[in-house]
Amino acid sequence: MNIEFVGRHVELNDRIRAYAEERLAKAGRFLVEPVEVQVTLDNEKHRKVAELHVSHRHGALHAREENHDLFEAVQIAAEAIEKQARRGRKRSVDRRRRAGRQVAEARDWPVDVLARESVGRGSTPRVVRSSRIQIQTMSLEEAALALESSRSGFVVYRDSTSSQIHVLYKRQDDDDYGLIAPEL
């Protein structure tokens, strides 16, 4: 973290520099290098102003605080920068997690079990149970092996040769397999 100090009508001593660096170190945990910080300290009549401008790889943060004590102004401004940095870090993490969740949902299909008496009467079918099935890429032979160990009587899979979605199921009357392979 590269920190540049600017003092307007203020004497910049080592004590104020060390204090500002210490307060900004907390915000540095949430920022991506390279981090450039400009600390501007100003004395306007009887109030002290601390203005912090932080530039990092993913954007810029800015805080300005006026107070009667310069150290308190630096502290409050640094806390504001830390809060902004924490919020930005949380947003980027959430964005990555949402993207991963959307990819996972693209491989899953929803399955609803409907009550028999609610279907075909002109009313809205009643959902008894909802779940999701995972769609995996496999060959027809692998799908047949997965069907043998399946409790549901069917397997939905993405064919490894054509990348299309297929459904392999057990027929009730002769224990043979049926294959539903839509042609799009």
Alpha-carbon distance of 83 to 63, in angstroms, equals 10
Residue 158 pLDDT: 86
Residue 65 pLDDT: 93
109-134 tens-digit pLDDT: 777 888 888 787 677 888 888 888 88
- What is the spatial order of strands in the sheet that 36-44 belongs to? 2-8, 36-44, 47-56, 59-67
Residue 44 pLDDT: 85
pLDDT band for 184, please (50, 70, 90 cuts). low
Yes or no: say if 20 and 12 are a contact pair by the CB < 8 Å rule: no
Residue 105 pLDDT: 52
Q: Which domains does the chain have, with CATH numbers?
A: 2-105 (3.30.160.100), 108-180 (3.30.505.50)
Residue 110 pLDDT: 79
Retrieve residue 45's tokens.
């009549």
- DSSP bridge pairs for 147: none
Residue 79 in this model has a pLDDT that exceeds 90: yes
Residue 62 pLDDT: 94
Residue 131 pLDDT: 81
Alpha-carbon distance of 60 to 63, in angstroms, equals 10
17-68 tens-digit pLDDT: 999 889 888 888 888 788 899 999 999 888 999 999 998 888 899 999 999 9
Residue 175 in this model has a pLDDT that exceeds 60: yes
Residue 15 in this model has a pLDDT that exceeds 60: yes
pTM for the whole thing?
Answer: 0.54
Q: Answer with the residue of higher pLDDT: 91 or 102.
A: 91
Strands (E), the chain: 2-8, 36-44, 47-56, 59-67, 108-114, 127-134, 136-138, 154-159, 165-170, 177-180
Residue 115 pLDDT: 82
134-174 tens-digit pLDDT: 888 889 899 889 888 888 888 888 888 888 888 888 888 88
